[in-house]
Amino acid sequence: MRTLESIPIVVEPCAAATGMVTAILRELEAALHALLDHGTRHVIDLSAMPLSARDRQALERTLGEGELRMDLQALGHSRIRESSLPGIWWLRHEGPDGRLLAEHIEVATVPAIVAAHADDLATTRIRLAALIEQVSRGGDA
Amino acid sequence: MDLLSFARGPALQWALVIFVLGSLWRLAGILLLRRKPDYTEPRSRATWRGALKLIVTRTWSRREFRASTAFGQSLGYVFHIGLVVVVFGFVPHILFIHSLTGLQWPGLPSSIVYVSGALTVAALVAALVRRLSNPVLRLLSNFDDYFSWLVTVTPVITGLLAVAHLGARYETLLAVHILSVCLLLAWLPFGKLMHVFLVFISRGTTGALFARKGAST
Amino acid sequence: MSEAALPPLETQGPRFGIKKPEQRQDIQGDLSDAARVDTAMREFVRDFGAVAATYMESCVHCGMCAEACPFYVETGDPKYTPIWKIEPFKQAYKREVSPFAFFMRAFNLKRKVTLEELEQWQELIYDSCTMCGRCTLICPMGIDIASLVGLARHGMHKAGLVPHELWAAAERAEREGSPLGATPKVFKERVEWMGDESDVAMHMDLEQADVLVTMSSIEIQKYPQALAAVAKVLNHMGLSWTFRSDGYEATNFGLLSGNADWQKDMSLKLINAAIACKAKVLLLPECGHAYSAMRWAGANVYGKPLPFKVRHISEFLGEHVADGSIRVKKDLDTTVTFHDPCQVARRGGVFDAPRVVLAALGAEVRELQDNRGMSWCCGGGGGVISIHRADAIRYKAFQIKMRQVDATGAAMLVTSCSNCRLSFDDSQAHFHWDKTAHSLLEAVADHLDEAPPKPAAAVPSPGSVTP
Amino acid sequence: MNTQRDPTVLESFQQQGLSRRAFLKFCAATASLLALPAARAAELAEKLAGMPRPTVIYLSFQECTGCLESLTRSFQPTLESLIFNTISLAYNDTLQAAAGEAAEAAREDAMRKAWGKYVLIVDGAIPRPEDGAYCVIGGRSALDLLRHAAEGAAAVVAVGTCAAFGGIPYAAPNPTGAASVQDLVGDRPVINISGCPPIPEVITGTIVYFLGFGVPELDAQRRPTMFYGTTIHDRCYRRPFYDKGLFARSFDDEGARNGWCLYELGCKGPVTYNSCATMKWNDGTSFPIQSGHGCLGCSEPNFWDGGGFYRPLSSGLWHGGIGEGLGVAAVAGVAIGGAAAVAARQRQKRTTEAGKKPPEAP
């Protein structure tokens, strides 16, 4: 019996450069201006871009590797990397099953998902107070 | 019922019925008229050969007429051949004919069909301009000529729009295309488009009669 | 037109025919307007059969036929487009006999034709159509437009809408036996006269003869040498032949004017005469429409196959020059161009015979640019030559012929139709042209080789002619 | 399933032990699926974070549960994250634990509490004749249940072609007089999510979108244009073969093996609006055309009456042959034409006879 793979249906990934890279870089430039002037953050959803494999490689090469890498474990794994251009972040979200959920380039001082939320800080304060009480009362926690 | 189902269903069905009924009505009405026997001594008895010969040879002009008929004749060739390519070369059309008659043959690449379609429209537009501007044609033309032109060019244009997805949703374009074909089928028996059949009968008649006399055809 | 007075003839000048009327009467009879239109339409469709209907239904209005018509080509006036000439009759056909006639009448989709239109169309149906049939050759649908014009003339005639001279000629022919005054008495006198003058034995009203010789009244009245010429040739062949005073007039103005009844009367005269003398061959003169009328319609008028063969003089000459029963001297040492008469050649099927004859005479034939089936009409066929008001347009159409004849550079112009010759003579005078159209028959008669025949060449039986 | 104190969507995430970041990631992924501008993901997150989980009533009528089967296979958002975190599924006769009188009572209770605010999801067509007697649940007709539930709904989502357009129950001869939701619910916004079944992510994605932003932009069939905006044919990877005129003519010929266009085999891709060619099924694994079968056109109205799944789109659409009809037309044509010819001959004959009697014209 034939398996699905043996049916010679090939969807060839487009190898050619499409000029999307330049377009994305321009968008990043504009986004950076907006961040500097108004403090607005900007997100580019890469899955919505018709990028060829070549485009993708070119984009990754151009943006390069920065000094910061973060791993987020929430609803699966997420990888957050700073590019060689500070303020431009590459985010890759995977589901609990390791499937790619979304891939973004974010222009911000820190990606929104990284910063601790004010509500959470409030919760932290309460939980911290409780911890202090617990520690001071019972010695070692 | 949506427009496409209407077009593919009842509209097409009735158009075909009108087409068959009207065509045979007209053909029978002509061919069953009185035919007088010819008692004259024939110069040749090969009348069938004469009929077939003229059916074929009148497809092009005699040498002497070529210069004066070149333009009109060329336009005619372009849109007639174009229509044949489009009607009988485009795979969806072959499938339609197949569903109707069971006959099937290999289709042409769609790109060739699109180009012929575009050329056909261009030639038909040129033919219309010529009809409107040439004094002889303007004098001869009547409602039948213009309406037949319209019902001929419409399916080609709507077909091209449908494959190009221009102007509306595809199923709407397809429905409009099929409806325009219905109009063409329904009108064909009643106007000059009937020449798709009559051309053979008319040429054949002259070919046979003239072969009998040995006259020039 | 009074019953007593015959329409006067013009016997002087290059054109022999009905005298130019002082006052034209292009409408005949006293029908009311409505009755006239009705009659035209009814009589037009009366003779309609499947063939004419096929033609009427097939036109796609492509306008190509204009390019084949000498009247359009020389004037550029779109009304001379051949198919347009029968436009009212196309309407009538659609209303009266077409498959959808019921709807056409019920919803008045094709309105009734008016008398004004028919009067207007008289010029197109008669003056500017010689029924030469050149348009038939260009029509992409193969429509024989000339035959439709013939049918249209039926309607026009019955409605009394015929040009004055054509009516007069036809009426004179019906009454007197000849359109141009060649009564049996005149005919006999002329035969006798030419016999004496040319010293040739004539046969008149023989009880029995193998060949019945007929003549065109144009020949009898204007080119009487033809009488002697045909007699010379037939005597030379040693055939049994005769003229008949009860059947000699081969022209058929019934056909030209559109009166089917008169056409039949005129044809039956010849047929009955041929049967009376038990002829094996009815020999038609140098006349185009006589050929159409008798060769391609005679048997149908008669209602059964004719008990004799019908031959045009040119095909008769061609055949017997070829088989050696006519011996000619090869001394017509000149360049010749041949004008194919439309009804004999294009529409009759006789192409090679005249060329065989000319070659036998030793002439160098220089063909016209458009020859044989494509030959341009002289402009005078179909009765047009007789209509005075058509002169201007006829001369225009003639110019094509003139140009093409000049272009050949041939010294001599020959044809085998006396009506063409009449048209050529008249146009020659009009244009002060240097070419005269000569008769093929007379050329043969003038060059007969009267040396005794070689023993091998037996006297042919006239029945041996093969199609 | 019903919560006592109406937690917000975010709170519900947190109750499940999921962090705010997990919630943000959920929103980002959903926004990506919906092809929203990335910036709107933040908007979605903000909206959902603060809003109480909406009550959802899921009613099933003349249906096969295929749509729900499909829904359970949603990968993003998963059905679990949807029903545990995002919505409060108050009633679904297949998924809920409760049954019988208790279940019906729970539904009535939930509807009363959230009257005017809950989202009604309907799955299956609704028979109309005899007061809806052909489909009765717990002693009440589907017709009655729908009318009542729709009255208190903020919006009605018709899931599946049966609910959206009548689907299979509606197919000729429609013995139960089935109708679609939009035929019966006139005064509430209706969102159709057609398909037999619909793509699971399209169902969940539309629901989340609705929660965040309200009714999305709809096409003429009231389907969200973000999922139903283009035809399968337009986005089909086999489209280049169509353009080249290369078609499979049977399911086992050279063309089929080479993956050529399936138009000739009856593919309805050109007139079917859905996302199968882009989103695909089973977590983006494949879709019918990729598996070698033409599109059935299941997300379009009347797809079941389209003249046959293997009948090319360009063929005529009638049941049985047309040969008989054309035969009758042919015979009639010859007969009438013959009669017209005979009539014409008689007119000619009359003319000839009439012409003989009176004197000639002149």
In a domain, A139, yes or no: yes
Å from A114 to nearest chain D CA? 8
Same domain for D79 and D214, yes or no, is yes
Å from C462 to nearest chain B CA? 16
Same domain for A87 and A49, yes or no, is yes
**What pLDDT score does C50 carry?**
92
**What pLDDT score does D240 carry?**
83
Is the pLDDT reported for residue D362 higher than 50?
no
C319 vs C119, C311, D12, CA distance in Å? 46, 10, 115
Closest residue in chain A to residue D236, using alpha carbons only = A11
Q: Show residues of chain C in contact with D354, CB under 8 Å.
A: 42
D116 at the C interface (CB within 8 A)? no
Is the pLDDT reported for residue D196 higher than 90?
yes
Give the confidence band of D77 by pLDDT, cuts at 50, 70, 90: low
Q: Show residues of chain D in contact with A3, CB under 8 Å.
A: none
List pLDDT tens digits, range D80-136: 677 667 777 888 888 888 888 888 888 899 999 999 989 999 999 999 998 889 999
D321 at the B interface (CB within 8 A)? no
In a domain, A85, yes or no: yes
Is the pLDDT reported for residue D224 higher than 60?
yes
Closest CA to D221 of D168, D266, D166: D166
Q: Show residues of chain C in contact with D356, CB under 8 Å.
A: none
Phi, psi angles (nearest 5°) of residue C128: -120, 30
Give the nearest partner residue to D361 out of C29, C97, C102, using CB atoms: C29
Same domain for A81 and A133, yes or no, is no
In a domain, D128, yes or no: yes
Give the confidence band of C415 by pLDDT, cuts at 50, 70, 90: very high
Phi, psi angles (nearest 5°) of residue C16: -100, 120
D337 at the C interface (CB within 8 A)? yes
Same domain for A47 and A88, yes or no, is yes
Same domain for A42 and A105, yes or no, is yes
Span C45-67, average pLDDT: 91
The domains located in chain C, with CATH, are 33-161 (1.10.1060), 174-321 (3.40.50), 325-446 (3.40.50)
- b/e per residue C348-366 (b: at least 16 CB within 10 A): bbbbebbbbbbbbbebebb
D71 or B206, higher pLDDT: B206
Task: Pick the range with the lowest mean pLDDT from A49-53, A113-117, B151-155, C316-320.
Answer: A49-53
In a domain, A25, yes or no: yes
Give the confidence band of D3 by pLDDT, cuts at 50, 70, 90: very low
Interface contact D351-C43, CB threshold 8 A: yes
* Rounded-to-integer distance, Cα A51 and Cα D86, Å: 32
D244 at the A interface (CB within 8 A)? no
D136 vs C31, C423, D60, D146, CA distance in Å? 87, 100, 11, 11
Å from D217 to nearest chain C CA? 52
Is the pLDDT reported for residue D359 higher than 50?
no
* Rounded-to-integer distance, Cα C433 and Cα D55, Å: 109
**What pLDDT score does B135 carry?**
95
Same domain for D255 and D224, yes or no, is no
Span C4-14, average pLDDT: 78
Closest CA to D59 of D212, D131, D162, D205: D162
Could you tell me if B127 and B149 are in contact, meaning their C-beta atoms sit under 8 angstroms apart?
yes
Last residue of a domain, one of D206, D228, D250: D228
Phi, psi angles (nearest 5°) of residue D78: -70, 155
Give the confidence band of D4 by pLDDT, cuts at 50, 70, 90: low
DSSP string, B162-189: HHHT-SS-HHHHHHHHHHHHHHHHHHGG
Same domain for D81 and D179, yes or no, is yes
List pLDDT tens digits, range C17-44: 888 888 888 999 888 988 898 888 888 8
> Positive or negative CA dihedral for D285, D287, D288, D289?
negative
List pLDDT tens digits, range C254-305: 998 888 889 999 999 999 999 999 999 999 999 999 999 999 999 999 999 9
Interface contact A93-D257, CB threshold 8 A: no
Same domain for D196 and D286, yes or no, is no
D228 or B110, higher pLDDT: D228
List pLDDT tens digits, range C90-143: 888 888 888 998 888 888 888 888 899 999 999 999 999 999 999 999 999 999
In a domain, A41, yes or no: yes
- b/e per residue B124-156 (b: at least 16 CB within 10 A): bebbbeebeebebbebbbeeebebbbebbbbbb
Token pair, residue B37, equals 């026997």
Same domain for A103 and A122, yes or no, is no
Q: List alpha helices for chain D, DSSP H.
A: 9-15, 20-33, 38-50, 66-71, 79-80, 100-113, 129-132, 142-151, 161-165, 167-170, 181-184, 200-213, 225-228, 232-235, 239-244, 254-257, 276-279, 323-356
Domain of A120, in residue numbers: 114-141
Question: Counting Cβ atoms within 10 Å, is residue C281 exposed (0-12), middle (13-18) or buried (19+)?
Answer: buried
Same domain for A19 and A74, yes or no, is yes
Task: Pick the range with the lowest mean pLDDT from B147-156, C242-251, D101-110.
Answer: D101-110
* Rounded-to-integer distance, Cα B13 and Cα B19, Å: 10
**What pLDDT score does D1 carry?**
43
| Mean pLDDT of the residues in chain B | 92
Same domain for A44 and A61, yes or no, is yes
Same domain for A90 and A126, yes or no, is no
In a domain, D4, yes or no: no
Closest CA to C137 of C315, C340, C342, C292: C342
Phi, psi angles (nearest 5°) of residue D284: 75, 20
**What pLDDT score does D74 carry?**
79
A100 or C351, higher pLDDT: C351
pLDDT in single tens digits along all 141 residues of chain A? 445 555 555 444 445 566 778 888 998 999 999 999 998 888 888 876 767 778 888 888 889 888 899 999 887 889 999 999 999 999 998 887 777 888 889 999 999 888 888 888 998 999 999 999 999 987 654
Compute how many other C-beta atoms are within 10 angstroms of the C-beta atom of residue C22: 6
Span D262-286, average pLDDT: 88
Is the pLDDT reported for residue C330 higher than 70?
yes
Task: Pick the range with the lowest mean pLDDT from B56-65, C320-329, D30-39, D228-237.
Answer: D30-39
Token pair, residue D196, equals 């037999």
DSSP string, D84-139: III-EEEEETTT-S--HHHHHHHHHHHHHHTTTTEEEEEESBEE-HHHHTTSEETT
* Rounded-to-integer distance, Cα D60 and Cα D68, Å: 9
Task: Pick the range with the lowest mean pLDDT from B138-142, B208-212, D250-254.
Answer: D250-254
- Residues with Cβ within 8 Å of residue B10, at least 6 apart in sequence: none
* Rounded-to-integer distance, Cα C326 and Cα C320, Å: 5
Compute how many other C-beta atoms are within 10 angstroms of the C-beta atom of residue D325: 16
Neighbours of C, requiring at least 3 CB pairs below 8 Å, are B, D
Write the CATH number for A19: 3.30.1370.140
Q: Testing the interface with A: which of D32, D43, D76, D258 to mutate, by most A Cβ within 10 A?
A: D32
Write the CATH number for D155: 3.40.50.700
**What pLDDT score does D319 carry?**
62
Is the pLDDT reported for residue D268 higher than 50?
yes
DSSP string, A60-123: HHHH---S-EEEEESSSEEEEEE-SSTTEEEEEEE-TTS-EEEEEEEESSS-TTTSPPHHHHHH
Is the pLDDT reported for residue B217 higher than 90?
no
**What pLDDT score does C368 carry?**
95
Token pair, residue D178, equals 């089935």
Question: Counting Cβ atoms within 10 Å, is residue D166 exposed (0-12), middle (13-18) or buried (19+)?
Answer: buried
> Edge to edge, what strands does the sheet with D88-92 contain?
D88-92, D55-60, D118-123, D153-159, D190-193
Same domain for A66 and A25, yes or no, is yes
User: What interhelical angle do C87-96 and C145-158 show, nearest 10?
Assistant: 80
Domain of D252, in residue numbers: 232-305
Q: Please count the structural domains in chain D.
A: 3
Same domain for D86 and D178, yes or no, is yes
Q: Please count the structural domains in chain A.
A: 2
**What pLDDT score does D62 carry?**
93
Same domain for A57 and A122, yes or no, is no
Same domain for D79 and D134, yes or no, is yes
Read off the pTM.
Answer: 0.82
Give the confidence band of D351 by pLDDT, cuts at 50, 70, 90: confident
Token pair, residue B78, equals 């372009």
Closest CA to C10 of C2, C21, C19, C1: C19
Q: Testing the interface with C: which of B27, B63, B130, B136 to mutate, by most C Cβ within 10 A?
A: B136
Same domain for D244 and D114, yes or no, is no
What's the CA angle centered on D270, arms D269 and D275, to 5 degrees? 55
Could you tell me if C161 and C40 are in contact, meaning their C-beta atoms sit under 8 angstroms apart?
yes
Write the CATH number for D290: 4.10.480.10
**What pLDDT score does A54 carry?**
80
Same domain for D250 and D135, yes or no, is no
C457 at the B interface (CB within 8 A)? no
Is the pLDDT reported for residue B180 higher than 60?
yes
Same domain for D29 and D162, yes or no, is yes
Å from B95 to nearest chain D CA? 6
Span C191-218, average pLDDT: 94
Q: Tell me the sheet residues that pair with D123.
A: D60, D159
Is the pLDDT reported for residue C1 higher than 80?
no
Peptide bond into D197 cis (omega under 30): yes
Last residue of a domain, one of D212, D228, D244: D228
Span C429-455, average pLDDT: 89
C100 at the B interface (CB within 8 A)? yes
Enclosing H/E stretch for D159? strand D153-159
Span D142-171, average pLDDT: 93
The tally of CA atoms less than 13 A away on the side-chain side of residue D67 is: 33
Same domain for A63 and A121, yes or no, is no
Count of CB contacts below 8 A, B vs C? 176
Span C443-455, average pLDDT: 82
Could you tell me if D158 and D149 are in contact, meaning their C-beta atoms sit under 8 angstroms apart?
no
Same domain for A82 and A141, yes or no, is no
In a domain, D252, yes or no: yes
